[in-house]
Amino acid sequence: MANFVLVHGAWHGGWCWQRVTTALQAQGHRVHALTLTGVGERAHLLSPAITLDTHVDDVISAIEVEELSDVILAVHSYAGMIGTAVADRLPKRLRHLVYVDAVLPKPGESWSSTQSAATQQQRLAAAQASTRFSFPPPDPDAFGLKGADHDWVKRRQTPHPGNTYQAPLNFDVQRVAAIPRTFVSCTQPALATIDPSRLRARDAKFWDGAWLPNAKVVEIATGHDPMISEPQILTQILLDCAA
């Protein structure tokens, strides 16, 4: 039995992992699909006080309270920031870190650092215009979702806490790089805001050469939400990381 902790990206919640969670549990594994403070079923907690550290603490607390070890930690999109922080702070608890079409930061960067100036301005303007300093979700078309999947995600998405956007993350590259890592690159359609991280995942010089020796890249020909559009493929990738 393996311990899986699944962390969603912006605007989502633990609900987005439903199909993967069911598949992993059917094989006898322990699965925790977390919902971060201020979104999903915890949207009533949305406030300007929520920061990147709040979300990092959400994940660390879950791992510690559940007394989990040998964790396969899968982090989606924005949660690449969170997974990197958890790997830095709880390295002995993790067996494998899986970046699911996720942000790959350098030390000192924020979630916004790899995004275009136009995207940054748009999101910050939206946050400033909101009552609780948050920015609204995009149409799930951006994630390549159609039909019932599109409608399901559109109904469930919630605004994301704005003060997670520009918060810098400092971490020890060598400590994180010591943990085996897999980057899942979703290519059809490829979400533009993840493009810089896709390039980094294949760059032998990334993290001053520390990234690649203990990391691999796996591609899925699907959009940005593979846990919804290709749950069987993503489940198998996670199982491979647990082997």
Predicted local distance difference test score (pLDDT) of residue 190: 98
- Tell me how crowded residue 172 is: count the other CB atoms within 10 A of its CB: 13
Select which of 77, 112, 134, 185 is catalytic: 77
Predicted local distance difference test score (pLDDT) of residue 66: 97
226 and 19 in contact (C-beta within 8 Å)? no
Predicted local distance difference test score (pLDDT) of residue 184: 98
Strands 160-161 and 134-135 come out as: antiparallel
* pLDDT tens readout for residues 21-47: 999 999 999 999 999 999 999 999 999
Please enumerate in sequence order all residues whose Cβ is within 8 A of that of 180, keeping only pairs 6 or more positions apart, or say none: 95, 96, 97, 214, 215, 241
Calculated CA dihedral for residues 113, 114, 118, 124, nearest 10 degrees:
-40
Annotated active-site residue 229? The verdict is no
Which residues does the chain have with pLDDT short of 70?
A: none
* pLDDT tens readout for residues 62-72: 999 999 999 99
Structural element, H or E, at residue 83: helix 80-89
Sequence ranges of the domains in the chain: 3-242
CATH fold of the domain at 3-242: Rossmann fold (3.40.50)
* pLDDT tens readout for residues 92-110: 999 999 999 999 999 999 9
Predicted local distance difference test score (pLDDT) of residue 68: 97
Q: Cis bond leading into 189, ω under 30°?
A: yes
Predicted local distance difference test score (pLDDT) of residue 232: 98
